Amino acid sequence: MRLSRPYIRTLTALFAVYLLFFALLGLVLPDRYVSSNENRNLQQLPAFSWERLFSDAYTEELERYLSDQFPLRDGFYALNNELSLLLGQRDFSGFYLGTDGSLLQMHDALDAKVFRQNLAYIQAFASAASSLSLPVRLLPVPGASYIYPEKLPYGGKEGDVDGLFDEASNGAFDLIDVRQALLDHKQEALYYRTDHHWTSLGAYRAWEAYLAQTGRQATPLSAYREELLSDSFQGTGASAVGLWGLPTDRIYAYDCGQSLQLELNLNGQLHDSLLFRDHLATRDQYAAFLNGNQPLVQIRGENRNGQHLLIVKDSYANCLAQFAIADFEQVDLIDLRSFNGDVLQYIEENGVTEVLVLYGVKNLCEDKNLYWLGRSAQAWAQNPS
Amino acid sequence: MVFSSVGFLFYFLPLAIGLHCVVPKSWRNGVLFVSSLVFYAWGEPIYVLLMLFSTLLDYSLGLAVDRWRGRPGAKWALAASVAINLSLLGVFKYAGFFVSQLNALTGLALPVPQLSLPIGISFYTFQTMSYTIDVYRDHVRPQRNLISFGAFVSMFPQLIAGPIVRYADVEAALYQRQLSLEGFSKGIWRFLLGLAKKLLFANAIGLAFSNIQAQPVEGLGALTAWLGIVCYFFQIYYDFSGYSDMAIGLGKMLGFDFPENFRYPYAATSVTDFWRRWHMTLSSWFRDYVYIPLGGNRRGKARQLFNLLITWLLTGFWHGASWNFVLWGLYYFAFLALEKLFLSKWLDRAPKFLGWAYTLLVTLVGWVLFAFESLPQGLAYLSRMFGAAPLLDAGFVYAFLSCLPLLVLMALGAVGLPAALASRWSSRLRPGAEGGLRLLAALVLLLLCTASVTAGSYNPFLYFRF
């Protein structure tokens, strides 16, 4: 190999300058505390002690600190994934890169065991609630890949969502099956392209199906005032995939025209809207609905029909509440991941008239907090009031 | 510390190499020794003492061998070095395995030692041991400077994953080495190639393999099982040879010429040929310190086969304290013996392509034994590959398409196509153009490797996932 002088000099300089540039930049740039893309705290400069040095803790944290605080980290993440894309990869951190550019949350490894355990909790809860002659219904939300399988990358395989629905339909509670309702409206934008959630429209179609399957009728969509909240939303899928030039989504809110009162966590402060618009300026714009995931949300509208709905839920329900309150006098939402109370006791004390358990299918196969429903039923059996 | 980390690439490397360049020549070994200790202690703050012990031991025993040359003392010193080095390995690498085998055999319930394996111990004990042997054989002069000897043992470029550098390889350079910009730039290029092999190729294809490995073996279709082991086949080559490239490149930056460790092993046309191209410093170590001392091929066919058997039992066992590695060694012994007996003659007469295909098949199956530490699991996997499974399963098409471009590139690289093309084109290019292209490639590799290193810590799973 003949090497010319200029090449030798330039390569050596390039290497040295490149390494030193990023090393110094890393030292000079102020440390960041939070990565909004990952929604986590970044490692800060660890405190030194001899003890921690000998136990490896110090060097491990220092290593994490250096990579967490690396200059242009988000950009390098995108570069890394662009290369992987070029080399054939078609899913990133749990999201498929759809054929139309949308990002579909993978439902390929659904844990049927956790799902069955959760059904058992709901079942126990439903039978305890039947002593209060309170209907308990389960509404599993299928992922976008179920409604739009044609968008999956070629060969992309998904778990057996239909099998899970079959199992759930054998329970001693009513299954609200929204699969067909969503499929019937699939030409509407029912899911975000860059987020795992359904859109407000998706939630409406499910709400409509819920009331229809329980012999009622939902307020027609035309009765709501539609408002464009954001046209720059990039959700969890965008963060996970992290590629350049990803699409953005529009978030719409629907206003039923009633004057509303919303209270979070019994803190005494009443809001007159379901929307918390501060979040629209952050990465997590979906949190504009009900201020993200709160342990307990209580919404009262102008209806005086005596109907009081409790939704035990994950985040899919956050954008469904805007439709539920149009048809009920009161709608409460409990998030078992952070709610501390006993659900049956809450129901009794607050005069709830029906319960809807609403979770994403994937969460039903992962979330272990439905345990608290089973626990509540158990306490009820021992000490019925 | 690992090469593919922000701390090593952006802080340790410029500091250690920069310091080594600017200090007076007589300090260079000192700088190398101290920086290597820091490098090692970074991940192994306690076990660094073990390495220092090994250093001190063979430093003294080497001197003792020299001093008592021709007298019984030399033999004793040599025996002490071999015994103590092997005991170190025995305790820290194999004790848990031996005790649990003993328990299983006798029904005893002796407590199984839970020592974590000190990084690089398999490499540095072999290096120090062979040093004392070489002094005994009068192949090298003993090193009288403890710091220089320490620099040899702990030398950070090759400390963790080889190549196994023998004292004779670096003896001259330890006394006197010329640093030149030309050597330095060659080292940079080699290091970057190795880094890219590890980060951009080995890690990516490794993910594909671990996805398949994580699935229950009973559900694997035959094609998926084959795909998995093909991924592993490339992962282990790019990973290991990438590490060797990085070590050799770093060595060049420090003024050393380490021995080559890989020579396109997957282009081999026989198993014998494969082992002349794969992990060359290990196979030559076993040849020179086990096979030949046992008598090699000089005492008749039967004895040669026995020597081969011992050598390959040990080679297998060196790779890890588990039965699958022993079996893996025996597996290669079988093919090497067959080739020595008659297969080589057949292969010589057959078309080259046939020998190549046979060697690939043997290596692929060999990697199954290597990849699964649990023998039953490895055998179950093999049975999926060879007929005990339907051809297709639900995941194959997706998994295959997702790594196809990567596999094609890796296959072309593994048989040396890029190097061949580069040398062909470089004669046609204008003198300046090749340098320019290389510079551009170096910058792109630097950027992509940085992206890969930092992406490793990226965890978008945690993002408001509810």
Mean pLDDT of A76-86: 92
The pLDDT-based confidence of A382 (bands split at 50, 70, 90) is confident
Last residue of a domain, one of B400, B426, B451: B400
Asked if B195 and B167 sit in the same domain, the reply is no
Question: At A261, which amino acid appears?
Answer: Q
The total domain count for chain B is 2
DSSP B291: I
Q: Is B319 a catalytic residue?
A: yes
Cα–Cα distance for residue pair A240/B178, rounded to 1 Å: 49
Asked if B364 and B225 sit in the same domain, the reply is yes
Look at the alpha carbons of A64, A69, A72, A78 in this order and tell me if their dihedral is positive or negative: positive
Q: What are the φ/ψ torsions at residue B200 (nearest 5 degrees)?
A: -85, -30
Question: At B331, which amino acid appears?
Answer: Y
The helix, strand and coil proportions of chain B, stated in percent and rounded to the nearest 5, come to: 75, 0, 25
Gap between the terminal Cα atoms of chain B = 36
The model's pLDDT over A304-358, given as tens digits with 9 standing for 90+, comes to 999 999 999 999 999 999 999 999 999 999 999 999 999 999 999 999 999 999 9
Asked if B119 and B259 sit in the same domain, the reply is no
Higher pLDDT pick, B411 / A93: B411
Q: How many other C-beta atoms lie within 10 A of the C-beta of residue B295?
A: 13
CA distances from A58 to A31, A35, A70, B226 (A): 18, 22, 18, 42
Asked if B218 and B365 sit in the same domain, the reply is yes
Contact between A16 and B186 using a beta-carbon 8 Å cutoff? no
Q: Which residue of B6, B200, B428, B429 is the best one to mutate when testing the A interface, meaning the one whose CB has the most A CBs within 10 A? A: B6
Cα–Cα distance for residue pair B16/B21, rounded to 1 Å: 9
Q: What are the φ/ψ torsions at residue A168 (nearest 5 degrees)?
A: -70, -25
Nearest CA to A235 out of A197, A291, A199, A180 is that of A197
Pair B43, B116: CB distance under 8 Å: no
**DSSP bridge pairs for A41:** A34
Is B127 within the bounds of a domain? Answer: yes
Asked if B45 and B125 sit in the same domain, the reply is yes
How distant is the Cα of B4 from the closest Cα of chain A, in angstroms? 11
Q: What are the φ/ψ torsions at residue A310 (nearest 5 degrees)?
A: -110, 125
Asked if B199 and B312 sit in the same domain, the reply is yes
Contact between A89 and B462 using a beta-carbon 8 Å cutoff? no
Tell me what the pLDDT averaged over chain A comes to.
91
pLDDT for residue B461: 45
Contact between B404 and A88 using a beta-carbon 8 Å cutoff? yes
Asked if B169 and B205 sit in the same domain, the reply is no
Q: Where is B146: in which H helix or E strand? A: helix B146-154
Residue of B nearest to A153 (CA): B398
Pair B140, B167: CB distance under 8 Å: yes
Asked if B58 and B193 sit in the same domain, the reply is no
The model's pLDDT over B199-238, given as tens digits with 9 standing for 90+, comes to 999 999 998 998 898 888 888 999 999 999 999 999 999 9
User: Can you read off the two tokens belonging to residue A86?
Assistant: 């070029």
pLDDT for residue B460: 47
Nearest CA to A347 out of A319, A318, A301, A380 is that of A380
ipTM of the complex: 0.88
Asked if B171 and B193 sit in the same domain, the reply is no
- pLDDT above 80: residue A171: no
Last residue of a domain, one of B177, B207, B227: B177
Q: What residues does each domain of chain A span? A: 5-72, 103-382
Q: What are the φ/ψ torsions at residue A253 (nearest 5 degrees)?
A: -115, 155
Last residue of a domain, one of B368, B400, B432: B400
pLDDT for residue A157: 84
pLDDT for residue A384: 63
Contact between A19 and B43 using a beta-carbon 8 Å cutoff? no
Pair B36, B155: CB distance under 8 Å: yes
pLDDT for residue B459: 54
Residue ranges making up the domain that contains B294 = 183-400
Is B84 within the bounds of a domain? Answer: yes
Q: How many other C-beta atoms lie within 10 A of the C-beta of residue B318?
A: 17
Is B1 within the bounds of a domain? Answer: no
Min mean pLDDT across A36-50, A115-129, A189-203, B344-358 is at A36-50
Residues 383-442 of B with CB under 8 A from A: 394-398, 400-406, 409, 426, 431-432, 434-436, 438-439, 442
Min mean pLDDT across A197-201, A267-271, A378-382, B13-17 is at A378-382
Question: CB distance from B188 to chain A under 8 Å?
Answer: yes
Contact between B426 and A70 using a beta-carbon 8 Å cutoff? no
Q: What is the DSSP string of B305-332?
A: HHHHHHHHHHHHHHT-SSHHHHHHHHHH
Q: Quick one: what percent of chain A has pLDDT higher than 70?
A: 98
Asked if B281 and B168 sit in the same domain, the reply is no
Measure the CA dihedral A260/A261/A264/A266, to 10°.
Answer: -150
Mean pLDDT of A253-272: 93
Measure the CA dihedral B442/B446/B452/B458, to 10°.
Answer: -160
- pLDDT above 80: residue A203: yes
pLDDT for residue A69: 84
Is B132 within the bounds of a domain? Answer: yes
Nearest CA to A196 out of A85, A361, A82 is that of A361
Asked if B48 and B98 sit in the same domain, the reply is yes
Pair A139, A317: CB distance under 8 Å: no
Cα–Cα distance for residue pair B311/A313, rounded to 1 Å: 64
3-state secondary structure of B69: coil
The pLDDT-based confidence of A385 (bands split at 50, 70, 90) is low
Mean pLDDT of A110-123: 94
Residues 189-218 of B with CB under 8 A from A: 189, 192, 200, 204
Asked if B265 and B282 sit in the same domain, the reply is yes
Is B458 within the bounds of a domain? Answer: no
Chain A neighbors of B400, CB-CB under 8 A: 155
Contact between A80 and B7 using a beta-carbon 8 Å cutoff? no
pLDDT for residue B465: 37
The pLDDT-based confidence of A275 (bands split at 50, 70, 90) is very high
Q: Kindly give the parts of chain B with pLDDT less than 50.
A: 460-466
Is B441 within the bounds of a domain? Answer: no
User: Can you read off the two tokens belonging to residue B330?
Assistant: 């025996």
For residues B86-119, one letter each, b for 16 or more C-beta atoms within 10 angstroms of the residue's C-beta and e for the rest, the string is: eebbeebbbbbbeeeeeeeeeeeeeeeeeeeebb
Cα–Cα distance for residue pair B395/B393, rounded to 1 Å: 6
